[in-house]
Chain A
Amino acid sequence: MLELNDINTYYDNSHVLHNVSLDVKAGETVALLGRNGVGKTTTMRTIMGLTPARMGEIKFKGTDIVRWKPYQIARAGLGFVPEERWIFPTLTVHQNLLIGQKNVADPGGPAAGRWTLEKCYEAFPSLKKRQYAKGGTLSGGEQQMLTIARTLVGNPEMILIDEPTEGLAPKIVEVVADIIRDIAEQGMTVLLVEQKLAIALDLADRIYVISKGMIQWYGSPEELRANDSVRKAYLEV
């Protein structure tokens, strides 16, 4: 579904991603792991067109989208759940979700499995409770759920989720991990950045390890569990 070939990304003159190649197949959950500042977020921003690659190719459903604008990439079916969450603080929870909707009318009723506002509220009861609260007043966990729901309600075929459990209380971390597992089990393709190794190993079908803007290793969760040297070199502190 998504394929990066030799992607090179810069912030002005600083070269952050070096020939990054990875692929995510339809229905898979792939985790991108690495220490702080190694280029995980930059990889997602590059895929989304927010920090466009200077060289390389990004194929989404077979089409090269590397020169596309973010809104075109989103309309093509990629959803982005950013690390910073970027809730619209002065808008209500409900209004935040409205922004995420792509076509307001769903002629002939929603197709099976499509995300509607109702389905979001069903899946995220805590958001329904706070439907009319301003986004800025939500707790960290609620904000994270709103960010995910806001992206889902646009019905992407694949979502990029950047550190969804960062800064959350252990209980909420579990809730968010369960949500991602549910979404993936319903058939969503997921590219996940997650610092908590146990969660990543649990959710992912395959794993890429990145360091200093270069992909260093890839394999299955079982292989990573068994591979002390990779974990020591690139993940554990």
Chain B
Amino acid sequence: MEALSIIPVQFLHGLVYGMLLFLVASGLTLIFGMMGVLNFAHGALYMLGAYFSFSILRWTGQFWLCMIVAPLLVGAFGILMERFLLRQVHRYGHAHELLLTFGLAYIIEELVKWIWGNQPLHVEIPAMLAGSVQFLGITYPTYRLFILLISAIVFAVLFLILYKTRAGIIVTAAVSRAEMVNALGINVPLVFMLLFGVGGALAGLAGVIGGPYLITNPGMASTIIIDLFVVVVVGGLGSLPGALLASFLIGELQSFGILLIPQMAIALEFLLMAVVLIVKPEGLLGDKA
């Protein structure tokens, strides 16, 4: 019985990590996948969300408030980043963006250590989510199910906005032909700045949600950043369903990898990436170039 129930539990573990990964990567799908801005500081934005949330929680004791305020703060930070750093270097290409955002990620990490210290921080989750739930003979922490719920909501809302509203259509068009959209009367630089803000806010939200689960610590950005790029590229640049699928696969690969071949668990993800990129270079659900 014990041995059998480990499979659904391990599946759930993988699903939760995968969906958290999706939550962080959704913002990068907008920023890198769609806009093509190589933002290596996306993990740092996620980390800022977690730390902002820690502080807001300490001052107010309101986890729900964290879920609103921290993403707004990180979103605003993202907007400033786009306006004053990335917009200036975008036309020089990816190398400039990579170096600039790589440096920024370092600076944020050092600032985080300086302000909040090197130690991992304990973030209290609200009492309502602290227990566990029983279903299908499994006992599972409520908070992890909450992560699944938030990811599902974020996916649904983003999907509807991106693919079903005029705003989403404008984003797609602006990404493919900025000059034309501009000449049709749409303020494209503003669209990009707001999109960057939304991407940042999503990273911030992921930080609030992920902090208590993956532990708020100064290394959390650099731990996740490579996974994020793998998700966006394997899923297919700019494809939200692709990012969801890739996150799911990577979550499960890690979860079952650790169980079955622990020595290779980390490598599995990159094996998947290599296979996908060779067989389907545009990514699982990406548009053919």
Q: Which residues of A contact B185 (CB under 8 A)?
A: 71, 74-75, 102, 154
Q: Which of A48, A75, A88 contacts B172 (CB 8 A)?
A: A88
Return B267 CB to nearest CB of chain A, in Å. Answer: 35
Q: Which of B228-276 contact A (CB under 8 A)?
A: none
Are B172 and A86 touching (Cβ within 8 A)? no
Q: Is A26 an interface residue when CB atoms closer than 8 A count as contact? A: no
Give residues 6-45 of B contacting A (CB, 8 Å): none
A95 CA to B184 CA, complexed, in Å: 13
Q: Is the interface of B mostly helix, strand, loop or mixed?
A: helix
How would residues 153 to 186 of chain A score, 1 for a CB under 8 Å from any chain B CB and 0 otherwise? Answer: 0100000000000000000000000000000000
Count, chain A residues at interface, CB 8 A: 25
The CA of A50 and the CA of B180, in the complex, are separated in Å by 9
A219 at the interface (CB under 8 A from B): no
Q: Does A82 lie within 8 Å of B182, measured CB to CB?
A: no
Interface residue tally on B, bucketed by range = 10 to 19
A88 and B186 CA atoms in complex are apart in Å by 15
Residue in A71, A80, A90 whose beta carbon sits within 8 Å of that of B186 in the complex = A71
Q: How far is the CA of A97 from the CA of B220 in the complex (A)?
A: 44
With A88-B177, A90-B287 in contact, is A70–B169 under 8 Å at CB?
no
Q: How far is the CA of A66 from the CA of B202 in the complex (A)?
A: 39
| Cβ-defined contact, A95 with B169, below 8 A | yes
What are 9 of the A-B contact pairs (CB < 8 Å)?
A48-B183, A70-B179, A70-B183, A71-B185, A86-B180, A91-B169, A99-B169, A150-B184, A151-B184
New contact pairs (16) apart from A86-B177, A88-B176, A98-B169, CB-CB < 8 Å = A48-B183, A50-B179, A70-B179, A70-B183, A71-B184, A71-B187, A74-B182, A74-B184, A80-B183, A82-B180, A88-B172, A90-B172, A90-B176, A95-B173, A99-B169, A154-B185
